[in-house]
Structure 1
Amino acid sequence: MKKSFSILTLVFIFIFSSCSNSDDINLKPIEDESVTIVNTFPNLSFSRPLDLQSPNDGTNRIFVVEQRGTIKVFENDTEVTESRTFFDMSGNIASSDELGLLGLAFHPNFESNGYFYVCYTPSSDLSVVSRFKTMDNDPNMADPSSETLLLQIPQPYTNHNGGQLGFGPDGYLYIASGDGGSGGDPDGNAQNLGNLLGAILRIDVDNTGNGLNYAIPNDNPFVDTENARPEIYAYGLRNPWRFSFDVRNGNLWTGDVGQGEKEEINIIESGGNYGWNILEGTSCYNAMDCDDSGTITPVFEYDHSNNDRSVTGGYVYRGSLNPSLVGYYIYGDFISGRIWALDNVSGSMASNKLLFETSLPIASFGTDQENELYICSFDGNIYKIVEQSLP
C-alpha cells in the first residue's frame, strides 16, 4: 500500500489479505503477556480499510475509510451487526496501486457545522483535498454536492501519495504528502520547497486569502521564503504514511516509509528537514552528496532484516483500557504485521519493544472518542489492543 512495490507484488498482497482470517493470525504477545489483540467488530467486514476516525462529537460513532472510495459509519459497539455507507466516492476515484480515498478528518466543530475533509485521487496524476458536509437532516449521510476544493497536488507517479489528514491542537489542518513516487525521489521533490511533495502541509480552513479556499497561517515556517510554498510545515519526507498528534502534549508523530533499507519514526517540528532523499533514516542515501547538515534525526529507525519493510505510523496511547501502554507510541509494519511500543522520548533514539507478531497487513491505526486504539487491517477487520487482568 505504501511501498514502491510492483503491481504484481501488490496484487499478491491483496490476494493474501483477502483470503486470510482471524484464525490464521498469530495474536500471541511477544514481550508483554498482559495485552492481546481482538477483532473488535466481528460482525462487520471492510474492503481494504486504511483509516479510522472519530468525530469526537459525543455520538461514539466510528468512521472507517475504504481505499476504493467509501466511508462506513457505525456505532462503537462490539455487538454492532451492520454499518452504513456515510459517503460513496468510488465513481470519482482512481483506486489502483496506492491510489484511492486516502484520508479523512472531521472539523473540530463538526458537531455544529457538519464539515469533514478528505484526501483522494480523482486520477492517477492528481491528489485532491476537499471539504464536504453532512446532509442537513441526516448526520450519518454526506452531501456529495457540497464539495469545496482546497488543494490539488500533481502526482508524477502513482505511488507515495501520503493522504493522511488531521487537525492539530492549533485548529489548523495538517496534510501528509509523499514525494511523488517512483523510487529514490528521482525529481528531488522532497528537498524542493517549491512544490507540495515530500512534506507535511498546514493550512487554515476557517479563513480564506489570496483567492484560495483556505488561508496560510502566519507562523508557517516558509511564508517569507522566496519561491517556497507557504503551505509547507516540514519537508524531506519520502512517504509519511499515517501521522497523529499526542493528545497530551500536542507532539506530531509520523511514520515515514523507507526506500530499501530503513523505516523511520519522526516527531515533526515546524520548518524541519527530515533528510530524504539525502538520507534514508540516519544512513546516507545519495552517496555522491550526503551533506546532512540541518536535517533532523529520526526518533527511531529499523531495518528490513525481519521482513519489516513498510512502517505504518500509529498513536501515542492515551486511553484507559491498557494502563501498561500509556505514553508509548504504538505503530506497526504493513508487510511483516509486527506491532511495537516505542518509549515516548525525544532528543535521542528511543527504546523500542515488540508487542505482537501477526500476519496482518496493517494499513492504519485509529482512535475513538475515548482515545482507545484500533488497527485497520487489509484482511477486512478492525482490531483492538486489550490488556488482560493477570492472576
Structure 2
Amino acid sequence: MSRFQPIPYFTLALLHLISGVANGVPEEVAEKEVVPASPLVRPVPPLEIPEDTLHGIGLSRLKFPREFDSPVALSSALPGPEGEQIVALQRGEFCAIKLDGSGEWRSFLDFRERMSGIVLFEEGVHGIALHPQFEKNRLFYLSYTQNEPRRTVISEMRATDGESPSALPETERILLEIPQPLADHWGGHITFGPDGQLYIALGDGGLRSDPYRLAQNPWVLHGKILRLDVNSRSGKLPYAIPADNPFANEQTVRPEIFALGFRNPWGLAFDTHTGHLWCADVGQDLWEEINIVKKGANYGWSDRDGPTDATFHPTPLIPGTATTDPVHAYTRQRGEGLCIVGGHTYRGEKMPALQGMYLFADWGYGTIWALQMDTVNERAVRRLTLYRRPEATKLNPTLITPDAHGEPILLSQDGALYRLEYTEDIATE
C-alpha cells in the first residue's frame, strides 16, 4: 500500500507504537478489566433509562459429557438434519455440538497444538463464522492469535462434504495478519452480514487509555470494525475491498475500515429483522457500552469514554472529529458490572416478552439484561434485568448467541453452555 501517503500525525502515532514495542513494554502491566473506579473521579451519573426486573426467566445448563474450556463463539447451524453448531473454545478446540439436550458432540477442528504456549487471559481463539454459502462451498473463517510475532490472524478454511463435515486444516488460507503491540484488548469476533461481507471487530491493542491512540488512528486497523469481501480480490490482497466501504476511496484511511473508535469490541451480531449491526465494547474504569454500528461512524474511544469525554486525553487526536454516542452504557460507579459481554437481538418464538430486545450480560457480575429500544429513533428506553448470578456459583458469560431457531444460548468461561428460557408463565406485555 505504498501509494498511500499518511499525514504526519499518523506517522507520529506509529512511531510511538514502534518505540513502545522496541522498549519492551512488559505484558504484566496490561490491565485486566477489573480496575475499580474511584468515586472521586466524577459524580455518579444517574441511570438514564428506567430499569425493571422481568421475572420468570432463568438459565438451564445444557448437559454434555465434558466441559468446554472457555467457549467464546458459536457458529450458525451446519447444513443437514443433525442440527449441529460449532462451538469455538479459546484454547484451540472447535466442537460440533447438538443443542437439543442429547449432549452429543464431536471434534470439528483441533487447533490446540497451534495454540501451544498461548495462555494469557485474552489470547487464543476469538471467533468462527460459516460462509453464507457454506452448504455449497464448505468455507468457514477463523479469528485467533499467534505469538512470535504477536498478531491477530484471520483465515479461511474448508470443511469436508457430507452431513457431518469436519475441518481440513491443510486448506487454511491466511487473509489478514494484524501485528499486536500487547497481549490485551484483542477483540476478534467475526460475523457475516446480510450483505455477504465479513465483518471483523478489533481492539485497540492494549494498555490503559490507548496510549498510542490507535483506536482513533485511521491508518491502523486496531480499534476498528473491518468489512472485507472474501469472494473477490483487490490487486494482490487475499480479499477484496468492497466498493461501498466508507473509506474505500480515501488515501488517508485504511480502506478495510467500516467503523472506528472501539476499545475492546466483544460480540458482533446483526439483527435479522432490521439489519442493524450491534456491538458491545468493553470499557476501562467507568463505562461499558453498546453500539449500533453505522457505516463510517466513529464511536469515540479513546477521545471519549462511553458517553463522556475521556479525562486521560484532554484533546482529540484529530481536531473536529465527530463521534457517535453508544445507545446504552452502564457504569462501575453504580456497581452495575465491570466487563460487558455482547449478545444479539431476540427474534425467537419461545419468549415473546423479549421480542425485539437486545440481550447482553456482564462477565464479572454474571448479570443478564435485555435492552428495549425505540426502533424509530434508535435509542434505548428501558433496561430489564433477566438474571442475576446467585452467590457462590460459577458463571462468567462470554457471549449470548442464538441457536438455529433464534433462542438464546449463553456461553460461560467456566466451561458450560446454558439456555436462557422461561421458568414459569409471565406476562407478555
1:13 corresponds in structure 2 to none
- Contact (CA 8 Å) 1:196, 1:229: kept in 2 or not? yes
> How far off is 1:371 after superposition?
1.1
Helix, strand or coil: the match of 1:324?
helix
1:156 and 2:191 aligned: no
Picking from 361, 368, 372, the partner of 1:339 is 368
In structure 2, which of residues 86, 95, 98 is the aligned counterpart of residue 75 of structure 1? 98
Partner secondary structure for residue 86 of structure 1: strand
List aligned pairs for 1:109-188, cutoff 5 A. 109-123=133-147, 125-136=150-161, 139-188=164-213
2:77 is paired with a residue of what secondary structure? coil
| Residue of structure 1 equivalent to 2:386 | 355
Deviations 1:86-130 (A, max 9, x none): 101111122422110110000001111111100011216200000
CA contact (8 A) 2:373 2:379 kept: no
Q: 1:379 aligns with which of 379, 403, 414?
A: 414
3-state secondary structure, aligned to 1:184:
coil
Please tell me whether Structure 1 or Structure 2 has the larger radius of gyration of its CA atoms.
Answer: 2
Secondary structure of 1:111's counterpart equals helix
AA aligned opposite 1:325: L
The match for 1:61 is: 84
- Which residue identity lines up with residue 201 of structure 1 in the other structure? L
Could you tell me how far 1:9 is from its partner in structure 2? Answer: 6.6
Q: 1:263 aligns with which of 288, 308, 328?
A: 288
Instruction: Select 2:314's aligned residue among 285, 288, 295.
Output: 288
Work out whether 1:204 is the aligned partner of 2:229: yes
Equivalent residue number for residue 123 of structure 2: 99
Q: 1:307 to 1:340 in 2, by over 3 A?
A: closer
Alignment deviations for residues 323-376 of structure 1 (CA, whole Å, 9 cap, x no partner): 111111000011111110001335444421211111511111221211111000
**Match in the other structure for 1:367:** 402
After superposing the two structures, state which structure 1 stretch, 269-278 or 351-360, moved more.
Answer: 351-360
- Structure 2 counterpart SS, 1:190: helix
Question: What do the CA deviations read for 1:2-43 (whole angstroms, capped 9, x no partner)?
Answer: xx9978979xxxxxxxxxxxxxxxxxxx82222211112354
What is the alpha-carbon distance in structure 2 between the residues aligned to residue 8 and residue 302 of structure 1? Answer: 20
Per the alignment, in what secondary structure is the counterpart of residue 92 of structure 1?
Answer: coil
Amino acid aligned to 1:73: A
* Map of 1:19 onto structure 2: none
CA shift digits 1:238-283 (9 cap, x unpaired): 0111110001111000100111100000000000000000111111
Q: Secondary structure at the match of 2:188?
A: coil
Residue 388 of structure 1 and its aligned partner are, at CA, apart by 3.7
Say yes or no: does 1:298 pair with 2:326: yes
| TM-score, structure 1 as length reference | 0.89
Provide the secondary structure at the position in 1 that maps to 2:254.
coil
Distance in 2 separating the partners of 1:177 and 1:254: 11
Please tell me whether residue 308 in structure 1 is matched to residue 337 in structure 2: yes
User: 1:79 and 1:160 mapped to 2: Cα distance?
Assistant: 36
Partner amino acid for 2:371?
A: L
Task: Give 1:55 deviation, angstroms.
Answer: 3.0
CA drift of 1:140 comes to: 3.2
Whether the 8 Å contact between 1:316 and 1:328 is mirrored in structure 2 is yes
Which range moves more in the overlay, 69-78 or 343-352? 343-352
Distance, in Å, in 2 between the alignment partners of 1:281 and 1:8 is 18
Question: 2 CA distance for matches of 1:139 and 1:114?
Answer: 12
Question: Among 29, 43, 55, which residue is 1:33 paired with?
Answer: 55
SS in structure 1 opposite 2:225? strand
Give the Cα–Cα distance (whole angstroms) in 2 for the partners of residues 371 and 314 of structure 1.
Answer: 12
Which amino acid in the other structure matches residue 89 of structure 2?
E
Amino acid at match of 1:330: L
Instruction: Give the whole-Å Cα distance in 1 for the aligned partners of 2:425 and 2:279.
Output: 33
Number of aligned positions between the proteins: 369
**2: CA distance between counterparts of 1:182 and 1:192?**
16
Residue segments in structure 2 that go unaligned for 5+ positions in a row: 1-26, 34-51
- Mapped partners of 1:137, 1:353: distance in 2: 43
Distance of 2:259 and 2:268 partners within structure 1: 13
Is this contact kept in 2: 1:257–1:310, CA < 8 A?
Answer: yes
Q: Could you tell me the percent identity over the aligned residues?
A: 36
Instruction: Measure the CA separation in 1 of the matches of 2:28 and 2:257.
Output: 28
1:282-325 Cα deviation digits (max 9, x unpaired) = 11114521578510010000001326111001000001111111
| Structure 1 residues 8 and 158: alpha-carbon distance in aligned structure 2, compared to 1, 3 A threshold | closer
Pairing 1:223–2:251 present? no
Contact kept in structure 1, 2:373 and 2:380, CA below 8 Å: no
Partner letter of residue 314 of structure 1? G
Which residue matches 1:85? 107
Question: Which consecutive residues of structure 1, in runs of 5 or more, have no partner in the other structure?
Answer: 11-29
What is the letter of the counterpart of residue 77 of structure 1?
D
**2: CA distance, partners of 1:357 / 1:136:** 43
User: What is the CA-CA distance between 1:52 and the residue it aligns to?
Assistant: 1.4
CA 1:348 to 1:226, structure 2 compared with 1: closer, same or farther past 3 Å?
same
**What's the offset of the Cα at 1:58?**
4.7
CA contact (8 A) 2:96 2:107 kept: yes
What is the SS of the residue equivalent to 1:91?
coil
Q: 2:349 aligns with which of 316, 320, 326?
A: 320
Do 1:275 and 1:292's aligned partners in 2 also have CA atoms closer than 8 Å? no
